[in-house]
């Protein structure tokens, strides 16, 4: 199937441009097979590469983009532009189109010399042998998408891993230890409603039984297990890090936020994942007529909720944390009736667990005071009513902060530095969203690489990362894996 | 049908009690036919009554409550207590049950010596002749209810008018000018979606054609005209103050607010109706991920809307006006997505038109400033983002302030003073809600009388006014009409 790739339209690949172009990327890149180190040798080991030789290893941008858009024929989503590749994706986990993309993944990686293992969650490990037998250093991400997703979230990470395998093959390079690419199942949680469920099972943080019995959203009768069976991806190998150990996990991903674009930077060296807690807040007052009820007689749940939401921003800002309300419902919902009940979501995040706790503690105290008629939010806020409202908190989700491994972070930082040649284009970041790397990090050294995405938009058909940025990210991923392989070899020698 | 009334359960009538009991009302009241003025005379004119004689005229509380609960057999609604009368009402305009209540109204008022006229909107005028031919002084309100309404809103006003007719008959009293009771059609606007539509047509503020063509809410095919015809209440007399002139209009109504109850007062002398404007406010920002988007990159429509709602309260309080938000919707509505769009209702009210305008002007200025990144609401609010959001105002309804007529207000105040004997139990009020008296006031001197309702609740099955308070209100209504009749006679003599 690889042979068909080059016939695809590549209109998308010529569009992006760099605002601050690192010298190495200003022209369409070619595989530097001409580098003296790679001339005429049968098999080169990564440990034997000099820094200069390592640096010269480049990805093939056109090939990478060709592959991405080729597999996006399976599950093509909503069109947003006139170019061939300007559509979103709608490739739900374990659907027929997901099977097609998986089959391509298996065939392609096998053709690149990998052995492929599918576990009981459909996680697919394509492993390229190294000079020594040992667990692989992996690039991992996912091929499933949101129902109205784009072409980069997850997909880029998998294709960058495959491009790495191709570069290694092109140069007849042998790693010290195996390297591989992992396609994790149902990362999005869009079809089976637990995000990152299959890496969670691999990490033994979620039980296989619970995962297998997950029913599809939307009222269908399929379960994860029935769909794994149906599409032929219910593997016989246990879904566990014990059966399929990984030495280190690197994940290239679009940022899904606006920071890199806004700062005109190219690579985020991801230090970890923010802690977050999700709450449902219920405010209970009393329905009353907007015309006949003076302020003094009101227990206005909407006014109180508005003050609580504004105050959550004040307190989060003070702690350099995040607070957000994405859902709000009220009742009874009539223009001339003061709502007696309002329910809203509150999402608190910070890179530090203790900061999330501190924001929560402060808000619990202040919310109660405000609902009781005080003005803890703003001393000048008019205290028009002595009626007390009830504020009830429900904790829906608690997710502790994740700190990635210093060795992996160091490998990514070094790779980014050598690929871009400009420290100013690289920044340390914390991921605001969850990824399979969160579960991977529980069982092996892990880090992630972020690349910019247009306007910070993801989970949307218009999600977009330029071909240049895809290639930079893929190259940093490849160099991170190879540097980590070198590190393993160095440590072995000591 | 009147003969059946006394057999009804009257459990409700024994329940209420006065917190501050005026002396005259501490025991169940009886018609004072024993007063010397009414002994043995064939026909007494109101103009000839002394102040002392007038004061002695009392309503029959049990008869009044009997009549109210008797007609509430037609359209009985949701039960909220165990007593026979502890249900709400669901008597939509021009329904079969509304026809039954109307038929009772016509038969009863005819039996009390009235001529009954039905106009082209089904407005029903029961007129008791006076000594001189002239337009009547009327008590008016409505027999229709909300779908989940109670036994007092509108119904009390009609029954108090009928009780007045009964007291006049009991005492063989003749007024100087005709007096009457008007049942206005579809005051609630709950079935045909314009409130007070039939008094509006009578006042020539709403066209007959528009009113007749109003379709019922909920998808049915009936129009006001077809339903008027179906139940036999499409009268041949034009619906117009020119065809059916009224000399003055008095309306007894439950307060629908909490003030009288909170202040332990019994009668509100209604000065007029608040001005109000209704707006739809649209806040447009940008959807973004709650985890990956720092405050500096957000255009958070929910946070902005929360600040605007809180600020509307600040500004309204400063102007002694009211501001309320009863409806709020947002999109896309996901816990981890910052809403890009929020729409909310804003209801601004004040007794003075200029105050409503001043609040609106201040909020238009401040809303724009807040949405542009400023902190006009609170100088200490953290200015975390420079992204500008759009705020769009749509004016949905403008209702100017209504000032009732000084003669009618004076009649009500004098009546309340003589009935209660304690000025402390009476307060001037402004109505926060619309009533048929708003349209009546465009064409004749008008005022209203408010009585307390439990917890300020209306438009609810549990709407409740004690029998004592119903009787006080009915008595003040009767005395207001008779005092106005005396006033007309005095002016005629001058």
| pLDDT tens digits for range B403-417 | 999 999 999 999 999
What is the domain extent for residue A431? 31-273+402-493
Strand bridging mode B288-289 / B337-338: antiparallel
Q: Across chain B, how many H-helices and E-strands are there?
A: 13, 20
Q: How many domains is chain A built from?
A: 2
| Preferred mutation among B287, B310, B380, B461 to probe A, highest tally of A CBs within 10 A | B310
What pLDDT was estimated at residue B39? 60
User: Same domain, yes or no, for B463 and B381?
Assistant: no
Pick the closest to residue A150 from A447, A454, A476 (CA basis).
Answer: A454
Phi and psi, residue B180, nearest 5°? -155, 175
Do A333 and B327 lie within an 8 Å CB cutoff?
yes
Strand bridging mode B179-183 / B124-128: antiparallel
Phi and psi, residue A393, nearest 5°? -105, 135
Flag residues of chain B having pLDDT under 70.
1-42
Q: Number of CB pairs < 8 Å for A and B?
A: 205
What pLDDT was estimated at residue B366? 98
In this structure, is residue B185 part of a structural domain? yes
Instruction: State the CB neighbour count (10 A cutoff) for residue A407.
Output: 17
CATH of the domain at A365: 3.30.70.360
| Preferred mutation among B285, B320, B326, B375 to probe A, highest tally of A CBs within 10 A | B326
Q: Across chain A, how many H-helices and E-strands are there?
A: 13, 20
Contacts (Cβ under 8 Å, ≥6 apart) of B473: B156, B160, B252, B267, B449, B450, B451, B465
Mean pLDDT of A382-387: 94
User: Same domain, yes or no, for A88 and A168?
Assistant: yes
CA distance B266 to chain A (A): 16
In this structure, is residue A4 part of a structural domain? no
What pLDDT was estimated at residue B2? 28
Segment A397-436, tens digit of pLDDT: 889 999 999 999 999 999 999 999 999 999 999 999 999 9
Last residue of a domain, one of B383, B399, B415: B399
| Preferred mutation among A260, A310, A386 to probe B, highest tally of B CBs within 10 A | A310
Segment A82-123, tens digit of pLDDT: 999 999 999 999 999 999 999 999 999 999 999 999 999 999
User: Same domain, yes or no, for B296 and B148?
Assistant: no
CA distance B324 to chain A (A): 6
How many Å from the N-terminal Cα to the C-terminal Cα in chain B?
44
User: Same domain, yes or no, for A430 and A346?
Assistant: no
Segment B100-109, tens digit of pLDDT: 999 999 999 9
CA distance B299 to chain A (A): 12
In this structure, is residue B352 part of a structural domain? yes
In this structure, is residue B287 part of a structural domain? yes
CA distance B55 to chain A (A): 31
What pLDDT was estimated at residue B35? 62
Mean pLDDT of A193-197: 92
Instruction: Work out the percent of chain B whose per-residue pLDDT is above 90.
Output: 83
Nearest CB among A291, A302, A325 relative to B302 is that of A325
More confident residue, A2 or A233: A233
Round to whole Å and give the CA distance between A461 and A150.
Answer: 4
In this structure, is residue A3 part of a structural domain? no
Round to whole Å and give the CA distance between B379 and A378.
Answer: 10
| Residue B302 with chain A: CB contacts under 8 Å | 309, 324-326, 328
Do B326 and A456 lie within an 8 Å CB cutoff?
no
Last residue of a domain, one of A339, A366, A399: A399
User: Same domain, yes or no, for B98 and B196?
Assistant: yes
Round to whole Å and give the CA distance between A465 and B26.
Answer: 82
| Residue B313 with chain A: CB contacts under 8 Å | 295, 303, 382, 384
Nearest CB among B258, B290, B324 relative to A326 is that of B290
User: Same domain, yes or no, for A301 and A413?
Assistant: no
Do A432 and B337 lie within an 8 Å CB cutoff?
no
Helix axes B96-111, B61-71, angle to 10 degrees: 150
Segment A219-260, tens digit of pLDDT: 889 999 999 999 999 999 999 999 999 999 999 999 999 999
How sure is the predictor about A294, in pLDDT bands with cuts at 50, 70 and 90?
very high
Whether pLDDT at A306 is above 90: yes
CA A1 to mean position of chain CA atoms: 28
Q: Any bridge partners for residue B76, and if so which? A: B89
CATH of the domain at B185: 3.40.630.10
- Residue with the two structure tokens 């009578």: B202
User: Same domain, yes or no, for B415 and B358?
Assistant: no
User: Same domain, yes or no, for A319 and A465?
Assistant: no
In this structure, is residue A441 part of a structural domain? yes
In this structure, is residue A143 part of a structural domain? yes
Complex-level ipTM: 0.82
User: Same domain, yes or no, for A236 and A279?
Assistant: no
Do B259 and A303 lie within an 8 Å CB cutoff?
no
User: Same domain, yes or no, for A294 and A268?
Assistant: no
What pLDDT was estimated at residue B41? 53
| Residue A306 with chain B: CB contacts under 8 Å | 305-307, 309-310, 325
Computed over every residue of chain A, the mean pLDDT equals 91
What pLDDT was estimated at residue A6? 28
Tell me the C-alpha to C-alpha distance, in Å, between residue B49 and each of A52, A422, B170, B480. 117, 103, 15, 14
In this structure, is residue A360 part of a structural domain? yes
* Contact status, residue A306 vs residue B305, Cβ threshold 8 Å: yes
Mean pLDDT of A296-303: 96
* Contact status, residue B239 vs residue B442, Cβ threshold 8 Å: no
Task: Please spell the DSSP secondary structure of B401-469, one letter per residue.
Answer: -EE--HHHHHHHHHHHHHHHS-GGGEEEEEESS--HHHHHHHHS-EEEEEE--GGG--SSTT----HHH
User: Same domain, yes or no, for A331 and A358?
Assistant: yes
User: Same domain, yes or no, for A244 and A97?
Assistant: yes
What pLDDT was estimated at residue A492? 86
| Residue A274 with chain B: CB contacts under 8 Å | 291
Last residue of a domain, one of B399, B415, B446: B399
């Amino acid at each position: 199937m690889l042979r068909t790739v080059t016939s695809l339209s590549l209109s998308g690949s010529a569009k992006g441009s760099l605002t601050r172009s690192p010298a190495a990327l200003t022209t369409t890149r070619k595989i530097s097979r001409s580098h003296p180190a790679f001339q005429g040798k049968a098999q080169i080991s990564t440990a034997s590469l000099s820094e200069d030789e390592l640096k010269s290893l480049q990805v093939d941008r056109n090939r990478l983009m060709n592959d991405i858009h080729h597999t996006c024929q399976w599950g093509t989503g909503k069109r947003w532009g006139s170019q061939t590749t300007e559509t979103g994706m709608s490739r739900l986990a374990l659907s027929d189109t997901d099977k097609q993309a998986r089959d391509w993944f298996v065939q392609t990686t096998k053709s690149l010399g990998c052995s492929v293992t599918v576990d009981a969650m459909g996680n697919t490990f394509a492993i390229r042998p190294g000079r020594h037998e040992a667990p692989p250093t992996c690039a991992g991400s996912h091929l499933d998408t949101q129902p109205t997703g784009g072409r980069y979230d997850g997909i880029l990470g998998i294709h960058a891993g495959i491009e790495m395998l191709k570069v290694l093959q092109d140069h007849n390079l042998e790693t010290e230890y195996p390297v591989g690419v992992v396609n994790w199942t149902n990362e999005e949680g869009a079809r089976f409603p637990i995000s990152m469920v299959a890496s969670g099972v691999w990490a033994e943080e979620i039980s296989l039984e619970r995962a297998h019995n997950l029913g599809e959203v939307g009222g269908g009768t399929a379960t994860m297990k029935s769909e794994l069976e149906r599409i032929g991806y219910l593997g016989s190998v246990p879904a566990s890090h014990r059966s399929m150990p990984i030495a280190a996990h690197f994940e290239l991903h679009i940022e899904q936020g606006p920071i890199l674009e806004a700062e005109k930077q190219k690579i985020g060296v991801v230090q970890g994942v923010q802690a977050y807690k999700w709450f449902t807040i219920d405010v209970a007052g009393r329905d009353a007529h907007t015309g006949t009820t003076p302020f003094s007689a009101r227990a206005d749940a909407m006014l109180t909720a508005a003050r609580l939401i504004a105050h959550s921003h004040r307190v989060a800002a003070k702690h350099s944390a995040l607070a957000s309300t994405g859902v709000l419902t009220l009742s009874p919902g009539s223009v001339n009736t003061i709502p007696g009940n309002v329910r809203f979501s509150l999402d608190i995040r910070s890179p530090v667990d203790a900061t999330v706790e501190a924001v929560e503690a402060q808000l619990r105290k202040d919310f109660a005071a405000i609902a009781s008629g005080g003005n803890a939010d703003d001393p000048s806020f008019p205290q028009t009513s002595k009626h007390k409202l009830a504020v009830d908190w429900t904790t829906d989700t608690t997710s502790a902060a994740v700190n990635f491994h210093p060795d992996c972070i160091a490998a990514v930082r070094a790779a980014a530095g050598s690929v871009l040649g400009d420290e100013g284009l690289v920044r340390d970041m914390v991921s605001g969203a969850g990824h399979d790397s969160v579960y991977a990090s529980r069982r092996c050294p892990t880090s992630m690489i972020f690349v910019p995405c247009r306007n910070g938009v993801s989970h949307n058909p218009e999600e977009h990362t330029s071909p240049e940025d895809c290639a930079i990210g893929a190259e940093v991923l490849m160099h991170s894996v190879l540097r980590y392989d070198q590190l393993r070899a160095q440590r072995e020698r000591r």
